[in-house]
Structure 1
Amino acid sequence: MMRRAGFRRDIQGLRAIAVLAVVTQHAGATWAPGGFIGVDVFFVVSGFLITGLLVRELAETGRIDLPAFTARRARRILPAALVVVVLTVVGAYGIVSPLRRETLLADAVASALFVPNYAFAVRDADYFGDETPSLFQHYWSLGVEEQWYLVCPALLLAAWAVGRRLGGRRGARGAVAVALGIVLAGSLAAVVALTPVSQPWAFFALWTRMWEFAVGALIALVPAAAVARIPGLVRAALGWAGLAGILAAIALIGESSAFPGVLVLLPVLSTGAVILAGIGQDAPPRGSAGAVIGNRPFVFVGEISFSLYLVHWPLIVAGALLAPGLPWLPAALGVASIPVAWALFRLVEQPTRRARVLVDARPRRTLLAAAGATAAVALAAGTALAVAPEPALATQTRVAHAEPAVPPEVTPVVPANLEPGLADAPDDESEVYDDGCNLGYQEERPRPCSFGEGDERMVLWGDSHAAHWVPGVLRAAEERGMALTTHTKSRCSSALARHVLDGSAFGACDRWRSTVLDELREDPPEVLVLANYADEEVPDGIDAEQAWRDGLREVVDALPETRVLLLADTPDLGTSPLDCLAMNLEHAAVCAVPESEAVRGAGRDAVREVARETRAEEIDLLPYFCAPIDGAPSEEPSCAPILGGLLVYRDSHHLTATFAEAMGGALAEAIDSAVDGRG
């Protein structure tokens, strides 16, 4: 017999862990880099609870009352979700930059219609790396869940009907299990295959997440009597192992992991273990994992978990927009979101779920009201999007474009002929991205790009900061009559220092660098340019500057026939200047960052030391970027985002391809001096 539904404190505890993990990670806690796996915990719990209800209904009545089921889902989800959509748009429209208002409204429409996951996937949004994330980014999981519950009842009905015809009630339950198993296997295969190819689609799509609901659903099919036959110690061990697995996923999985992929198995199966261990128990036994997470504070957080999930993200993002640069603010807003969530729970979520007028209403009336509310919110946001005027993203002032110079020619306004324009800047990347030559985090097989022809060859090797220099280095190579080959991989410097991603060994980086170095040894270029982000992460407990020095020396020593040039890193503004510029068109200087803040990183100091101690030459173009600026926040030299009418940065620390190409002349002079100066 299928177990009867009952209140399980351990499941409320799982909800609490899930939402607290998400909030903690979003608040910037470095000790919980994998907090986003809380969503996977939610998916398994949802699959267990909702599928259990549907299968019990099938067993008792032979049918699923789809209008009643959908009406219950609408009362549970829609009111709080739509209220937060409205409040977010109203509260944020005036504080987001003009660059982001169209996206804000478009995402509001998608969220009201519960399809934001596809909106994010289509525009190739990076859940982990977007510097200016959507205020509705967290709604992706609501979209996935509601899409699943459009599919799930039909799947269960079809499987039940086929199984009932072939084998009676037992056959029906078996057919449901088989159908869910097929969904599980197919969806899991899809997410594993898609993650290295298209991480956004693997992360956001329904078909790569269905298996997580199926895991919970299959556990719901396990009879309580069968679980009761498992020895108590084994069940306790299963629960503790599951809880440990969830906590390990939170601590060890990170934004640069190949996620979801196979890594998502850890939080999903661990959640399933905790749920399975508690089946059939009126109360978790003392000392069990269920008892620990079923305490009163966890149950309270579990009760408000949906409201907390809804409100925490807009609060954190809005705080960052209003007061950027305050490191403590995200954590403070994460804590503040708890009473806000409680208010939403008490004033909106709970009343609309339990109000007799809604509970007793015919499902069709509830569905009509839900459809009307959804349409009203979506239409309001859509209308605002349609009639909103084009934002002014530049002044009327035109300036003469100038080659980068020393001292830099600071442009005090956002000119009408800015190149590239603010809206186009994020896509103004070097050709190695379009050509597929820049490797992602988990790729390790070299994919060099080759440009031009010449009797001599220059090689550019490094991470994404080498990639952003490609247009300038290519211009310099062409002026010297040299062919250019590039080897670039994100977050992986060409200094043979140990790097980590989210505290874990970066094996793909090590293997890629080893292969590239072997290729360079076999066919040494005349000139090798090493360019890297100076703040790449090294393991805790290691002297970062020493690691960089040793890694750079190793490359220099490995290529005795090659002239090695060490390109000092460009300034890092800390945050993208695009939004600041869009909100300060007449006063672009306020978006400049003091040189003392922008010029940092152990790799920069190491470049200078290695150039001093070896035959390598340093190229430092900092004087082209930073100088005293009238109207800047600091009186000290500052690094401006617009120089000579050209936009310098496309995000916080990557150059636009336009500016990098303009720097080609300065690079050519520096390379000529470095290569020819020592003979």
Structure 2
Amino acid sequence: MHRPPHAAAGFRPDIQGLRAVAVLAVVIYHAGVSLVPGGYSGVDVFFVISGFLITSHLLSTLRDHGTIRLSDFYARRIRRILPAALTVLVLTALASVLLVPRVDVPGTLEDAAATALYMPNLLFAAQGTDYLAETSPSPFQHYWSLGIEEQFYLLWPAVLLGTFFLVRRSNRRLAAVIAALVAASFASGLVLLEVSPPWAFFSLPSRAWELGVGALAALALRHAAGRLSTAVGRVLIWSGLAGMLTGFVLLTSTTPFPGVAALLPTLSTAAVILGGSAAPHPALLTNRPMQAMGKWSYSLYLVHWPLLTIPQLAVGVEHPLPLAGTLALGALSVPLAILLHRYVEGPFRRGPARGNIRRTGPTLAMATAGSLVIAGSAYGAGLYIDRTPATAAQPAERKAGLPYPEGTPFVPSNVTPVLERAATSAPPTNGDGCHAPVKQTEPQAHCIYGNREATQDVVLFGDSHAEQWFAGVDRLARDNAMRLRTLTKASCPAVSISIERQGAPYTECDQWREGALQTIREVKPRLVVLGNYGRVTPVDDSKDLRKQWEEGLRATIDALPEGTEVVVMADTPFHDSAPASCLSRNIDDAAACDAEPEEALNASRAAVERRVAEETGARFLDMNKYLCAEHCPAIIGDILAYRDAHHLSEPMGEALAPRLAAELDKEL
């Protein structure tokens, strides 16, 4: 064992070992090893270490010089962080252009531009990215944590300097202020976790408390250096290591995170850091392999993610790489990290400008210029690629809407929507406020279409799989001089079943559904059309989903007003991934992106829905004969049938509108 240093400052081999633990946990988790489902919390370990080291350095500067030279501090951070980060950024962007599916390249380059401007975390939060469940992640997604650290580094020296003088250089008062900031940040994370999980995960205000815990550890060691006994130090070290490893094993992708769960890796890391100031450092952290891995940890964190994601995106997320392949890629990231550390990270950090304040200005200027050039180039290239549709040279005829369709064997030059716009090809209710968002609990009473002066109503009720039939139901309403009321909500089926969303009970769905049913009972419509996405996770996992689905559908139909006709729409085909991404890799072989009916359609659930409809006097309407024959084509005629893995595109909904309206008209 190594003896501990006598102060917070100076090289700490145990912290170098903690870096190794953290990066190995992250890499193994990203490689898909199921034994460490909580390996993502290694990033939280990094946050605490960063907060501790930066605050220790700044406190030493304040003690020695009475102030903090902000420009010098920023220049040092730039030389430490940016050369390696920007090198990997540029190489990742080039590899993405060459290997990532064509339709995904503009979005990937947008991520690259945000990364170059030090705010990828804000972009991912705005996009609603689910880091723990993302099946088609950005090659730049791992930069989110660097974005948080860079934003923290930008603000923290000024905050610490101002607070230091505000509390008249009192360590006790300084600790109290920082503790209050940590508590406020933690509370904001808890609130955001309920309101907007992506912002809770990716934003600085909700994650700053983890760096703040490291700052409190630095203050504690400065104020109480030498007061911890060796015995207490040992307890802190080993309990902290046990807590970290417990988090790696017990936390999962369904754990609401950050929040209370993030206390485990965060406080455990702080315990190891505090204990290491008093007790001998364990060989588990200080042996040569762990010290080397800790030295390379930053470079390893940078290179491992694009090395894992770009090959997966290149072959298609519908074809997951085997575990042996991802482990090989994870192992390959180690020698690449060694090269990055030796030839980029290390030389810039140890360069001749180190400690030379006269070089601060050029360092800041070069960093700013380099970031702007990279961001502008990535964004401009993305715009150029986005405006050059990926299609074959020949057009196709309009064939959608015919039964048992044959797919178009290529991506036609007149395809609609174009592959690059597929994801936004949704019904008008998706953009006019009439498709309730996740957090909404009250039904949207103002959403009326068709003949607003009519005396009879038709209601479209359910989730986004009901919304995709809007064009056909709207056509029915207009043809029959009826009002159309839409009651649809994101990820919330009309079926009366309590489900989970992002690992937590989706209570907003239950409340909204009850309100929607009450609205329908008050309106007493002539016809209600139900549409539902059946691949849900029930809150009650003790009962079979099909049984719960059957009971829930029956309860919903029974809750509708007497005399109202009910149509239950069969669910549409499910693809393993968004066809647009696959098609951009197979422009001349679109059939490679078709789905097989036995996999794309859930026959057992359809049988349950058909039986419930028959027993309750409703009608079960299956429109899938217009979408599938021997295969379920991605492109039918000149129409891209799907906007993502399981939603019809708006043009396909329009093409099926006459057929759907004619079928629904039989119920009037």
TM range (shorter): 0.7 to 0.9
SS of corresponding position for 1:570:
coil
Deviation string 1:163-208 (CA, Å, 9 cap, x unpaired) is 34xxxx4x3x355435535644554565556566666555444344
Q: Answer yes or no: is 1:110 the counterpart of 2:114.
A: yes
User: Is the Cα–Cα contact under 8 Å of residues 40 and 268 in structure 1 kept in the other structure?
Assistant: no
User: Is the Cα–Cα contact under 8 Å of residues 429 and 656 in structure 1 kept in the other structure?
Assistant: yes
User: Is the Cα–Cα contact under 8 Å of residues 529 and 569 in structure 2 kept in the other structure?
Assistant: yes
User: Is the Cα–Cα contact under 8 Å of residues 38 and 248 in structure 2 kept in the other structure?
Assistant: no
CA distance in 2, matches of 1:537, 1:589: 31
SS of corresponding position for 1:94:
helix
User: Is the Cα–Cα contact under 8 Å of residues 244 and 264 in structure 2 kept in the other structure?
Assistant: no
CA distance in 1, matches of 2:378, 2:357: 31
Shift, 1:570, TM fit: 0.4
User: Is the Cα–Cα contact under 8 Å of residues 534 and 601 in structure 1 kept in the other structure?
Assistant: no
Shift, 1:435, TM fit: 3.0
Q: What is the 5 A alignment of 1:248-263? A: 250-251=251-252, 253-254=254-255, 257=256, 263=258
- Quote the sequence identity (%): 39
CA distance in 1, matches of 2:604, 2:357: 63
Counterpart in the other structure of 2:146: 142
One-letter amino acid of the structure 1 residue matched with residue 652 of structure 2:
F
Shift, 1:15, TM fit: 4.4
User: Is the Cα–Cα contact under 8 Å of residues 441 and 489 in structure 1 kept in the other structure?
Assistant: yes
Counterpart in the other structure of 2:401: 404
Q: What is the 5 A alignment of 1:74-113? A: 74-113=78-117
SS of corresponding position for 1:44:
helix
Cα separation, partners in 2 of 1:510 and 1:294, compared to 1, 3 Å:
farther
Equivalent in 317, 328, 340 of residue 348 of structure 1: 340
Deviation string 1:566-587 (CA, Å, 9 cap, x unpaired) is 1111001111111233343344
Cα separation, partners in 2 of 1:404 and 1:50, compared to 1, 3 Å:
same
Q: Answer yes or no: is 1:654 the counterpart of 2:654.
A: no
Shift, 1:231, TM fit: 9.2
Shift, 1:429, TM fit: 1.7
One-letter amino acid of the structure 1 residue matched with residue 115 of structure 2:
S
CA distance in 2, matches of 1:557, 1:15: 58
SS of corresponding position for 1:157:
helix
Counterpart in the other structure of 1:548: 549
Cα separation, partners in 2 of 1:467 and 1:35, compared to 1, 3 Å:
farther
Counterpart in the other structure of 1:595: 597
CA distance in 2, matches of 1:495, 1:433: 21
SS of corresponding position for 2:665:
helix
* Greater mean alpha carbon deviation, residues 425-434 or residues 347-356: 347-356
Cα separation, partners in 2 of 1:95 and 1:367, compared to 1, 3 Å:
farther
One-letter amino acid of the structure 1 residue matched with residue 405 of structure 2:
P
- Aligned-residue Cα RMSD (Å) equals 3.9
User: Is the Cα–Cα contact under 8 Å of residues 2 and 224 in structure 1 kept in the other structure?
Assistant: no
Q: What is the 5 A alignment of 1:264-343? A: 264-268=259-263, 271-276=266-271, 278-282=273-277, 302-324=294-316, 329=321, 331-343=323-335
Cα separation, partners in 2 of 1:333 and 1:181, compared to 1, 3 Å:
farther
Equivalent in 181, 204, 207 of residue 206 of structure 1: 204
Cα separation, partners in 2 of 1:580 and 1:277, compared to 1, 3 Å:
closer
Q: What is the 5 A alignment of 1:179-578? A: 179-181=177-179, 183-184=181-182, 187-188=185-186, 191=189, 201=199, 203-222=201-220, 223-224=223-224, 228=228, 232=232, 239=240, 243=244, 246-247=247-248, 250-251=251-252, 253-254=254-255, 257=256, 263-268=258-263, 271-276=266-271, 278-282=273-277, 302-324=294-316, 329=321, 331-349=323-341, 355=347, 357-358=351-352, 362=356, 364-365=358-359, 368=362, 372=366, 375-376=369-370, 379=373, 382-383=376-377, 386=380, 390-402=387-399, 404-408=401-405, 410-448=407-445, 449-452=447-450, 453=452, 454-501=454-501, 504-521=504-521, 523-538=523-538, 540=541, 542-559=543-560, 561=562, 562-578=564-580
CA distance in 1, matches of 2:358, 2:333: 30
Counterpart in the other structure of 1:632: none
Shift, 1:443, TM fit: 4.2
Q: Answer yes or no: is 1:177 the counterpart of 2:169.
A: no
Task: Give structure 1 stretches of 5+ with no counterpart.
Answer: 628-636
One-letter amino acid of the structure 1 residue matched with residue 422 of structure 2:
A
Counterpart in the other structure of 2:46: 42
* Greater mean alpha carbon deviation, residues 593-602 or residues 242-251: 242-251
User: Is the Cα–Cα contact under 8 Å of residues 352 and 358 in structure 1 kept in the other structure?
Assistant: no
Q: TM-score, normalised by structure 2?
A: 0.83
Cα separation, partners in 2 of 1:501 and 1:201, compared to 1, 3 Å:
closer
Cα separation, partners in 2 of 1:131 and 1:298, compared to 1, 3 Å:
same
CA distance in 1, matches of 2:73, 2:594: 55
One-letter amino acid of the structure 2 residue matched with residue 622 of structure 1:
N
One-letter amino acid of the structure 1 residue matched with residue 546 of structure 2:
E
User: Is the Cα–Cα contact under 8 Å of residues 493 and 536 in structure 1 kept in the other structure?
Assistant: no
User: Is the Cα–Cα contact under 8 Å of residues 79 and 348 in structure 1 kept in the other structure?
Assistant: no
Cα separation, partners in 2 of 1:367 and 1:596, compared to 1, 3 Å:
farther
Q: TM-score, normalised by structure 1?
A: 0.82
Q: Answer yes or no: is 1:155 the counterpart of 2:152.
A: no
Deviation string 1:96-118 (CA, Å, 9 cap, x unpaired) is 23333333334334323423334
Shift, 1:77, TM fit: 2.0
User: Is the Cα–Cα contact under 8 Å of residues 497 and 547 in structure 1 kept in the other structure?
Assistant: yes
Q: Answer yes or no: is 1:52 the counterpart of 2:56.
A: yes
Cα separation, partners in 2 of 1:503 and 1:112, compared to 1, 3 Å:
closer
* Greater mean alpha carbon deviation, residues 78-87 or residues 345-354: 345-354
Shift, 1:130, TM fit: 6.2
One-letter amino acid of the structure 2 residue matched with residue 281 of structure 1:
G
One-letter amino acid of the structure 1 residue matched with residue 261 of structure 2:
L
Counterpart in the other structure of 1:607: 609
Shift, 1:145, TM fit: 0.9
User: Is the Cα–Cα contact under 8 Å of residues 492 and 536 in structure 1 kept in the other structure?
Assistant: no
Shift, 1:404, TM fit: 1.0
User: Is the Cα–Cα contact under 8 Å of residues 565 and 618 in structure 1 kept in the other structure?
Assistant: yes
One-letter amino acid of the structure 2 residue matched with residue 272 of structure 1:
L
Shift, 1:329, TM fit: 1.4
User: Is the Cα–Cα contact under 8 Å of residues 254 and 503 in structure 2 kept in the other structure?
Assistant: no
User: Is the Cα–Cα contact under 8 Å of residues 531 and 567 in structure 1 kept in the other structure?
Assistant: yes
User: Is the Cα–Cα contact under 8 Å of residues 80 and 348 in structure 1 kept in the other structure?
Assistant: yes
Deviation string 1:582-630 (CA, Å, 9 cap, x unpaired) is 3433443332222222223753342233234442211111110012xxx
CA distance in 1, matches of 2:59, 2:338: 31
SS of corresponding position for 2:587:
coil
CA distance in 2, matches of 1:103, 1:128: 20
Aligned residues: 651
User: Is the Cα–Cα contact under 8 Å of residues 312 and 320 in structure 2 kept in the other structure?
Assistant: no
Cα separation, partners in 2 of 1:447 and 1:24, compared to 1, 3 Å:
farther
Deviation string 1:357-415 (CA, Å, 9 cap, x unpaired) is 55866355487468647745763674476475642433443444355111326434333
Deviation string 1:609-666 (CA, Å, 9 cap, x unpaired) is 3234442211111110012xxxxxxxxx111122232221111111122321332211
Cα separation, partners in 2 of 1:144 and 1:330, compared to 1, 3 Å:
farther
Deviation string 1:333-368 (CA, Å, 9 cap, x unpaired) is 542344333224422225655555558663554874
Cα separation, partners in 2 of 1:438 and 1:384, compared to 1, 3 Å:
closer
Cα separation, partners in 2 of 1:116 and 1:565, compared to 1, 3 Å:
same
Q: Answer yes or no: is 1:666 the counterpart of 2:659.
A: yes
Equivalent in 609, 613, 619 of residue 617 of structure 1: 619
One-letter amino acid of the structure 1 residue matched with residue 651 of structure 2:
T
One-letter amino acid of the structure 2 residue matched with residue 105 of structure 1:
L
One-letter amino acid of the structure 2 residue matched with residue 329 of structure 1:
L
CA distance in 1, matches of 2:513, 2:202: 31
